[in-house]
RNA sequence: GCCAGCAUAGCUCAAUUGGCAGAGCAGCCGUUUUGUAAGCGGCAGGUUGUCGGUUCAACUCCGUCUGCUGGCUCCA
């Protein structure tokens, strides 16, 4: 039987075969290991094992050596089909009952049951594989990780060994170089080197401190969005960081979103009363749940606040759509192991917006939102993305609202996505608790995917909050809400941007845009005048006043990835020009009057021009 | 939260089998006045993440907590 899935590509066959060879090597060294599964992945392969002994880095080397032997042994991969009964007997005979019997039971009746054998190793497997183990020669084991059986945290945690494999050693080598390059672009590393942000143990896990350089980038991005909002009819609002628990009972965040939130803040008087009663924590939680005790919540989303702004005034159909926007900071309780630099944090600011419109306006408004996301991604050169329509998971109880509303909202998302001109996939279980979403999933340099921009259609919150507008028939009607955030969150977006640009930001985003340096200290006053002129037109510039050689000043500016450098020496001052050295834009270089340089940089900034991101080059080694 | 690993000066890293904790860069002081990626010299910088244990002796061995890394689970 060919599996009903996609047939494997030659590369997948190599990786899948490497996984089997990994399984075989582990069994040779650790015969008591219980095998789970070993599939190929986008970037390599893995195999999951259940074993008392915890694998070490040394084990990885030994296992890899054993795999090389298997390559040399040039074993043939042979497929054998058998009946379910035979398969059960075969698995028992091989002593692999812990997981393989369960995996066997997953194969539906009527579908072929097959084993693949190479050398002494046999594995329940639909296939397919390469013919001989000698074809798998360019591989490397990379890491050991824990992984829950069947991906369910209630199950036992197995040990997963990750590896990668390619058709040729060259390709493998290139892949390993790419991994190294990716590490150099890591936003956590660059964030430290370029002083963009700081995470402080004393402040708390997952809480970003935007240092001055990073703050400039964020501010520029926010200015950019604010311009777009002004053009597209949004009104800016501000709301506080907390809200009454009742607000979230109405919205459904409490309890639907409870696990993702910081625990409630309980009023002081209520706390005192409860402690007098000797009420324990469990009882406190019960009373919070029931509403018997009042409190506040650190807001996990901005929508309830915006809804109350909308509800604070009567609306005519003539007012719609009402578009409210805010850079709203929200707080979510992420498990400690999920935190990661700026891309996964516990407090973050969404470039949030909520549209209140009539049902007839939904399609057009969603389109406008999608257009905004596209403008944002295009302006920043983030072109490697896919679109995902997130739907309900069937049979789940983590959603609020009627079936009818969900069906309408899902249809709206689907048809809007279809007009995008970009391929999109529909994925069940990816919806928000109040409605389906259209997500823009951007792929970063290492191939990891990040959900950034999002647009969500919501019939449910207007109902829960009993929102209305007066229609042309002079009767109350229920508006529809659209939630949208083109960046998603400022933290995650900037984190991705740091890696995308390798810290080498386009001039409009660069914390420092121009570094001025003089040949010797006598010329510093002249340099200061140049700085004044640059600042007068809003260009972020500084003067390197250290008594160093020019080479040292240039090196400093290069390491700080400053887009443009101006060198001032006797010749330049004499001729009334500046000597320009630019990181990416060679067209800018040469000697020119300061006014010309200013005009050029000014247009580069105001057009938000992208520069070709420079490849991450190693810093030249110091000559000894 | 779970599995595994890691934690030495502001940063990047050293320190033989347990035996006085060291270097480069950054910083400060001095010197140098410099032409497109590092001029030279000096000084200072540490209860080796935390708390506890083993030992004559702990950066080193054991345990604890905190944080980080790679994954799993979960998500903007």
What CA–CA distances, in Å, run from A238 to A213, A228, A351, A373, A523? 25, 18, 12, 22, 48
On whether both A43 and A126 belong to a single domain, the answer is yes
Residues in chain A: 624
A339 touches strand B (CB under 7 A): yes
Number of domains chain A is built from:
3
Question: Lowest mean pLDDT: which of A23-32, A135-144, A351-360, A603-612?
Answer: A603-612
CB-proximal positions of chain B, under 7 Å: 1-5, 11-12, 31-39, 66-76
On whether both A485 and A529 belong to a single domain, the answer is no
Q: Which domain covers residue A19, as residue numbers? A: 10-167
Q: Which nucleotide is nearest to A338 (CA to C1')?
A: B74
A550 touches strand B (CB under 7 A): yes
CA A57 → C1' B54, Å?
28
Q: What is the mean pLDDT of chain A?
A: 91
Residue ranges of E strands in A23-92: 34-35, 45-50, 78-81
**pLDDT value for A23:** 96
Mean pLDDT throughout A87-91? 94
**pLDDT value for A2:** 37
Nearest in space to A51 (alpha carbons), one of A106, A120, A98: A98
pLDDT digits (tens, 9 = 90+) for A385-422: 889 999 988 878 788 888 888 898 999 899 888 888 88
**pLDDT value for A171:** 94
Task: Give the integer Cα–Cα distance in Å for A51 and A115.
Answer: 23
CA A618 → C1' B21, Å?
31
On whether both A536 and A581 belong to a single domain, the answer is yes
* Active-site residue, selected from the candidate residues A75, A135, A350, A513: A350
CA A205 → C1' B50, Å?
17
| Residue A477 is a catalytic residue | no
In a domain, A615, yes or no: no
On whether both A125 and A30 belong to a single domain, the answer is yes
| Residue A129 is a catalytic residue | no
On whether both A490 and A520 belong to a single domain, the answer is no
In a domain, A22, yes or no: yes
| Residue A504 is a catalytic residue | no
Q: Which long-range contacts (CB under 8 A, 24 or more apart) does A230-233 make?
A: A232/A323, A232/A368, A232/A372, A233/A321, A233/A323
Task: Read off the CATH number of the domain in which A331 is found.
Answer: 3.30.930.10
Q: How many of the other CB atoms lie within 10 Å of CB of A528?
A: 14
| Residue A352 is a catalytic residue | yes
Q: Which nucleotide is nearest to A571 (CA to C1')?
A: B35
Contact A314, A470 (CB under 8 A): yes
Q: Which nucleotide is nearest to A552 (CA to C1')?
A: B38
Question: Is it the case that residue A597 has pLDDT exceeding 80?
Answer: yes
Mean pLDDT throughout A254-259? 84
A206 touches strand B (CB under 7 A): yes
| pLDDT band (50, 70, 90) for residue A302 | very high
A589 touches strand B (CB under 7 A): no
A188 touches strand B (CB under 7 A): yes
CA A193 → C1' B39, Å?
25
Question: Is it the case that residue A462 has pLDDT exceeding 90?
Answer: yes
Task: Give the integer Cα–Cα distance in Å for A454 and A456.
Answer: 7
Residue listed under structure tokens 């390059």: A181
Task: Read off the CATH number of the domain in which A143 is found.
Answer: 3.30.980.10
Q: Is the dihedral of CA A275, A281, A282, A288 positive or negative?
A: positive
In a domain, A235, yes or no: yes
Phi-psi region of A452 (alpha: psi -120 to 50; beta: other; left: phi over 0): alpha
On whether both A117 and A140 belong to a single domain, the answer is yes
On whether both A576 and A518 belong to a single domain, the answer is yes
CA A354 → C1' B66, Å?
40
Phi, psi of A552 (to 5 degrees): -70, -40
| Residue A160 is a catalytic residue | no
- As a whole-number percent, the residues of chain A with pLDDT over 70 amount to 96
Phi-psi region of A502 (alpha: psi -120 to 50; beta: other; left: phi over 0): left
On whether both A527 and A490 belong to a single domain, the answer is no
CA A153 → C1' B73, Å?
6
On whether both A488 and A357 belong to a single domain, the answer is yes
Q: Which nucleotide is nearest to A572 (CA to C1')?
A: B35
Nearest in space to A248 (alpha carbons), one of A292, A295, A287: A295
| Residue A306 is a catalytic residue | no
* Active-site residue, selected from the candidate residues A332, A388, A484, A583: A332
A56 touches strand B (CB under 7 A): yes
* Active-site residue, selected from the candidate residues A36, A59, A352, A444: A352
A556 touches strand B (CB under 7 A): no
CA A200 → C1' B46, Å?
21
Q: DSSP label at A512?
A: S
More confident residue, A242 or A623: A242
**pLDDT value for A290:** 81
Question: Is it the case that residue A457 has pLDDT exceeding 90?
Answer: yes
A180 touches strand B (CB under 7 A): no
- Residues 6+ away with beta carbon under 8 Å from A293: A266, A270, A274, A284, A287
Strands A514-518 and A564-568: parallel
Q: Which nucleotide is nearest to A492 (CA to C1')?
A: B76
| pLDDT band (50, 70, 90) for residue A123 | very high
A522 touches strand B (CB under 7 A): yes
In a domain, A271, yes or no: no
Task: Examine the fold and report which residue of A501, A523, A555 is the final residue of a domain before the chain moves on.
Answer: A501
Task: Give the integer Cα–Cα distance in Å for A336 and A276.
Answer: 34
More confident residue, A267 or A341: A341
Task: Give the integer Cα–Cα distance in Å for A577 and A92.
Answer: 84
Q: Which nucleotide is nearest to A446 (CA to C1')?
A: B70
A579 touches strand B (CB under 7 A): yes
Both structure tokens of A412: 């709206």
A332 touches strand B (CB under 7 A): yes
pLDDT digits (tens, 9 = 90+) for A260-295: 999 899 888 888 888 888 877 778 888 888 888 888
In a domain, A351, yes or no: yes
Task: Examine the fold and report which residue of A167, A183, A199 is the final residue of a domain before the chain moves on.
Answer: A167
Q: Which nucleotide is nearest to A523 (CA to C1')?
A: B33
Question: Is it the case that residue A225 has pLDDT exceeding 60?
Answer: yes
Q: Which nucleotide is nearest to A623 (CA to C1')?
A: B38
A622 touches strand B (CB under 7 A): yes
On whether both A458 and A378 belong to a single domain, the answer is yes
In a domain, A190, yes or no: no
| pLDDT band (50, 70, 90) for residue A5 | low
Task: Give the integer Cα–Cα distance in Å for A411 and A401.
Answer: 15
| Residue A16 is a catalytic residue | no
Nearest in space to A526 (alpha carbons), one of A477, A478, A487, A576: A576
Q: Is the dihedral of CA A53, A55, A60, A61 positive or negative?
A: negative
* Active-site residue, selected from the candidate residues A187, A437, A553, A611: A437
Radius of gyration of chain A (CA): 30
Provide residues 421-440 of A with CB closer than 7 Å to any strand B atom.
432, 437, 439
In a domain, A622, yes or no: no
- Which helix or strand (DSSP H or E) is residue A572 part of? helix A570-575
ipTM above threshold 0.85: yes
- Which helix or strand (DSSP H or E) is residue A296 part of? strand A295-298
On whether both A526 and A472 belong to a single domain, the answer is no
Helix axes A524-536, A594-606, angle to 10 degrees: 40
Task: Examine the fold and report which residue of A458, A473, A501 is the final residue of a domain before the chain moves on.
Answer: A501
| pLDDT band (50, 70, 90) for residue A594 | very high
Both structure tokens of A387: 């679109």
pLDDT digits (tens, 9 = 90+) for A519-550: 999 999 999 999 999 999 999 999 999 999 99
Task: Read off the CATH number of the domain in which A589 is found.
Answer: 3.40.50.800
Question: Lowest mean pLDDT: which of A367-381, A441-455, A478-492, A583-597?
Answer: A441-455
pLDDT digits (tens, 9 = 90+) for A470-494: 999 999 999 999 999 999 999 999 9
Q: Which nucleotide is nearest to A521 (CA to C1')?
A: B33
On whether both A222 and A139 belong to a single domain, the answer is no
**pLDDT value for A4:** 46
Provide residues 123-162 of A with CB closer than 7 Å to any strand B atom.
143-148, 151-153, 157, 159-160, 162
Mean pLDDT throughout A27-45? 93
Phi, psi of A49 (to 5 degrees): -125, 150
**pLDDT value for A616:** 44
* Helical segments of A241-386, H only: 245-251, 253-256, 268-277, 281-290, 303-311, 362-379
CA A62 → C1' B62, Å?
28
More confident residue, A452 or A2: A452
In a domain, A288, yes or no: no
Mean pLDDT throughout A363-387? 91
Provide residues 235-294 of A with CB closer than 7 Å to any strand B atom.
260
């Amino acid at each position: 039987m060919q599996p009903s899935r996609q047939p494997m590509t030659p590369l997948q066959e190599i990786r899948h075969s490497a996984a089997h060879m990994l399984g075989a090597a582990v069994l040779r060294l650790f015969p008591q290991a219980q095998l789970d599964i070993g599939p190929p992945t986008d970037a390599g392969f893995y195999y999951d094992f259940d074993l008392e002994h915890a694998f070490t880095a040394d084990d990885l080397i030994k296992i890899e050596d054993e795999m090389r032997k298997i390559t040399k042994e040039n074993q043939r991969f042979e497929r054998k089909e058998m009946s379910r009964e035979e398969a059960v007997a075969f698995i028992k005979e091989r002593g692999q009952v812990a997981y393989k019997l369960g995996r066997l039971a997953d194969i539906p009746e009527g579908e072929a049951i097959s084993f693949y054998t190479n050398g002494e190793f046999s594995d329940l497997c639909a296939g397919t594989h390469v013919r001989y183990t000698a074809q798998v020669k360019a591989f490397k084991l990379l890491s050991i990780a824990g992984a829950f059986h069947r991906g369910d945290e209630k199950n036992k945690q197995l040990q997963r060994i990750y590896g990668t494999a390619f058709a040729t050693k060259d390709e493998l080598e290139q892949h390993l170089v790419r991994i190294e390059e990716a590490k150099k672009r890591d936003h956590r590393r660059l964030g430290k080197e370029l002083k963009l942000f700081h995470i402080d143990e004393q402040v708390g896990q997952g809480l970003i401190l935007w240092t001055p350089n990073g703050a400039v980038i964020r501010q520029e991005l926010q200015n950019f969005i604010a311009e777009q909002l002004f053009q597209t009819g949004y009104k800016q609002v501000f709301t506080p960081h907390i809200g009454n628990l009742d607000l979230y009972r109405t919205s459904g965040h409490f309890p639907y979103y409870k696990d993702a939130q910081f625990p409630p803040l309980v009023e002081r008087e209520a706390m005192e009363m409860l402690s007098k009663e000797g009420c324990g924590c469990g009882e406190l939680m019960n009373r919070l749940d029931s509403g018997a005790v009042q409190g506040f919540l650190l807001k996990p989303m901005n929508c309830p606040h915006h809804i109350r702004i909308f509800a604070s005034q009567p609306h005519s159909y003539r007012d719609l759509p009402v578009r409210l926007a805010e850079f709203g900071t929200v707080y979510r309780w992420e498990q400690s192991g999920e935190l990661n630099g700026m891309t996964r944090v516990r407090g973050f600011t969404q470039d949030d917006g909520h549209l209140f419109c009539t049902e007839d306006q939904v399609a057009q408004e969603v389109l406008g939102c999608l257009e905004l996301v596209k403008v944002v991604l295009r302006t920043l050169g983030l072109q490697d993305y896919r679109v995902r329509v997130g739907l309900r998971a069937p049979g789940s109880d983590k959603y609020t609202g009627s079936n009818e509303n969900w069906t309408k909202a899902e249809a709206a998302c689907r048809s809007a996505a279809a007009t995008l001109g970009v391929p999109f996939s529909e994925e069940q279980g990816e919806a928000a608790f109040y409605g389906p979403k259209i997500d823009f999933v951007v792929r970063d340099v290492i191939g990891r995917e990040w959900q950034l921009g999002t647009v969500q259609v919501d019939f449910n919150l207007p109902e829960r909050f009993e929102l209305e507008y007066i229609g042309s028939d002079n009767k109350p009607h229920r508006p529809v809400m659209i939630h949208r955030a083109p960046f998603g969150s400022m933290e995650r977006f900037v984190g991705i941007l740091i890696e995308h640009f390798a810290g080498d930001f386009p001039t409009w985003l660069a914390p420092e845009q121009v570094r001025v340096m003089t040949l010797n200290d006598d010329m510093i006053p002249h340099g200061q005048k140049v700085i004044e002129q640059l600042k007068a037109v809003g260009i972020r510039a500084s003067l390197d006043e250290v008594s160093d050689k020019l080479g040292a000043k240039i090196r400093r500016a290069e390491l700080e990835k400053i887009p443009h450098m101006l060198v001032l020496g006797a010749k330049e001052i004499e001729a009334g020009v500046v000597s320009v050295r630019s990181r990416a834009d060679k067209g800018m270089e040469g000697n020119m009057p300061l006014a010309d340089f200013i005009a050029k940089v000014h247009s580069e900034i105001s057009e938000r021009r992208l520069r070709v991101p420079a490849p991450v080059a190693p810093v030249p080694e110091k000559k000894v």
